[in-house]
Chains A and B, each alone.
Chain A
Amino acid sequence: MIEVTHAAKSFGAVTAVRDVSFVAKDGEVTAILGPNGAGKTTTLRMIATLARADHGEVTVDGKSAASEPHAVRASLGVVGHSVGLYPRLSAREHVEYFAALQGLSKQACAERCHTLFRELDMGAIADRRAAGFSQGEKLKVAIARALVHDPKHVLLDEPTNGLDVMSTRAVRDIIRRFKDAGKCVLLSSHVMQEVAALCDRIVVIAHGVVRATGTPDELRALAGKSDLEDAFVSIVTPEPTR
């Protein structure tokens, strides 16, 4: 379970996150939905211990991201905004590198690779070097290496950004499987359809503030709109005066 309580983060004069609170439960897919620049990535980075909250608290399974970053990291699998791969390493070598850093034994790593490659349908690219990978293939490698230690929580920053239809579907399937496995999945997105199709709970943020929280149906009811996209737009606007 991930809990964010009145978190705030500024970079110099720019306030990226003003006041964000929400809970992401195990066995559920929670989405942070918001327009560009709303503070989605910063919120995820605070949870991932990559940025420290100026105010408020971020905990993962009760452990504070600020005071116990190592413990938090160990229970997180993070797939970031940019899928940085090493062009001269194969998909398997990427996973093996992170497995070693996670402290997995050779045998545990081999078993985990086998499982991950099957689940992510990566058999064909497992031993190819990353240099020529498509966007979807790169994302799969990034997911595989982020999940090599089988973390309980999975953070995905705009996971289907730049993917074609087939890859998008594949990624959604993967996310559903995480949910079925009882994991706590938190993803950021600005794509309505994706959020509607995937998520149990939606946290709408704009200008660094949570505007609404609820299931897709609750949000539709809240805004009085039948279409989620309309609901989203009406929740996000009118903009508050800064």
Chain B
Amino acid sequence: MIRGAWIVFAKEVKDNLRDRRAVAMALALPIIAPLASSLTLVFGAREEMKAWKEPLVVSITGAEHAPDLVSFIAAQGIAKKAPLAVPEEAVRKGDEEVVLVIRAGFADAVRAGDPAPLEIIADKGRRKSERALRRLKSALDAYGATLGSVRLIARGVDPALLQPLAVEVNDLATKEARLAFLLTGLPMFLVLAAFLSGLYVAIDTTAGERERGSLEPLLLNPVPRAAFAIGKLAAVTLFAWLGLLCTVLGFLIMPHVMPDDLGDLPLRLDALTLARMWLLLLPLALLASAIQVLVGTLAKGFKEAQASLSYLSLVPMVPGMIVAFSAPEPTFWLMLVPCLSEQLVMNAWLKGMSVPAGLAATSLLATTTLALVLAFFTVRRFSSDRFL
């Protein structure tokens, strides 16, 4: 039995290592995932920085009503542009990022000490417009604060009285966005690697074997049917584990070859953390392989297997979405859900938080159990009379 499984395993590994497509599939994510991550991070950060350094030119309607305001915001790096006929239209089309409209009554209201009306036309749905809006708004707020202080002083009141809090905003928007991207993206890529690395081998050794017509002669050999199932499953799992290892190594190298520094992010991306993540994902890769071999043996041919398994590979994305949007804390019950538990634990590890050993073990055990149950069904499927 073990001998038979070993022979099948050795043959499938040799056979599939010679298959460019199988190897490409196993290496695709290890190369793509870290590359895509670092490119997203680098370009995302660069764009943000550039946007704040560039002068912002805003079309102002009714600038003549508030010359003080216009010169104040100009000092903040926001230049004036001629008014437009239909500013709403220009913003909606994206020709203008934001437009400032100063009404005729502005000067009178300021003089009377009433709230002076100002209108900003923006399209918050667009990133650039949203960014310009934030900049313009903060400049206007500064002007308003200055104006208010002057009025208070004129009435003999200390403006500090109206500022009970001294809030200093350290803008972490970019930093946080990068961190959030890595915290959800990295675990998801790793889970995806567990599902995709062995996919091609799974199809080739099951549905492919059937389609080639080599299944029947193979099963005529005097080896228990279970040995074939186990040997094939082991070969698929090996590819999944190796693909996963390469992906982990890719993420280990990534920070060192990226042009931008990740050093200031509160993120644990060291060798030890990544090694622990690899170990955590081994049972998940086994689970993925068991599902793939089972589905592959149920399919009549390569294409049928490929179609069903492609959809199946999207399933692990669902927990990724949950992690991204709600980020629940790892709890016992969540640890029972394969894919979700691994992503939650990895998420915590990346943040440098410690996960109770019991919880990580629960995740390992739950996923392993499910993987073994599926492997059992695969073995039974191979042994059934109707298999051929």
Taking beta carbons and an 8 Å cutoff, which residues of A are in contact with B? 48-50, 52, 70, 73-74, 76, 78, 80-89, 93, 97-98, 100-103, 142, 145-146
Contact = CB atoms under 8 A, between A and B. Distances in A.
A236 to B, nearest CB: 28
B163 interface: no
B7 A101 contact: yes
Mostly helix, strand, loop or mixed at chain A's interface?
A: loop
9 contacts: A48-B220, A49-B220, A50-B219, A86-B212, A100-B7, A101-B4, A101-B8, A103-B3, A103-B222
B213 A73 contact: no
Nearest to A71: B222
B19 interface: yes
A89 B215 CA distance: 15
Nearest to B385: A52
A72 to B, nearest CB: 10
Interface residues of B, number: 24
A102 B3 CA distance: 11
A70 B223 CA distance: 8
B18 interface: yes
B358 interface: no
A50 B213 CA distance: 14
Nearest to B221: A101
B7 A142 contact: no
Mostly helix, strand, loop or mixed at chain B's interface?
A: helix
B223 A101 contact: yes
B222 A88 contact: no
B15 A86 contact: yes
Nearest to A75: B222
Nearest to A100: B7
B388 interface: yes
B214 interface: yes
Contacts of A48: 220
A80 B222 contact: no
Contacts of B218: 101
B216 A80 contact: yes
A84 B221 contact: no
B220 A78 contact: yes
Contacts of B217: 78, 80, 84, 98, 142, 145-146
B137 interface: no
A142 B385 CA distance: 24
B11 interface: yes
Contacts of A50: 216, 219-220, 388
A76 B209 CA distance: 22
